[in-house]
Amino acid sequence: MTRKQALDDPQIAATAWARFRRIMAWMALGGAVCVGIALVFLHLRSGELPIHMVIATILGVWLTFMLGTGLMALTFLSSGTGHDEQVMDRLKDEVPLDD
């Protein structure tokens, strides 16, 4: 019987996903801080902001922040659990090496 690797092992997967959720929760708070900074900056530069601009700023800044954070966190999750090492390069024999 072979030992399960990376995210195939339920214990490793549970630990990795708990870490991922913890990182994302902290980053959601960080995104909220960035939204606040952006709104303060816009208010200081432009004065009173229309409600549509406030909503667009909140959604744009926070969702962009969370998308970048989520993709980077998934990259670290994949690398940190050994999931990347399980990938087989089926083309490695077809690519000639230039000496």
How far, rounded to the nearest angstrom, does the alpha carbon of residue 67 sit from its chain's CA centroid? Answer: 6
Confidence (pLDDT) at 74: 85
Longest C-alpha distance within the chain, in Å?
68
pTM of the model: 0.70
Tell which residue, 74, 71, 62, 9, has the closest CA to residue 35.
62
Quick check: 1 pLDDT over 50?
A: no
Are 83 and 56 in contact by the 8 Å Cβ rule? The answer is: no
pLDDT, tens only, 25-82: 999 999 999 999 999 999 999 999 999 999 999 999 999 999 999 999 888 887 777 7
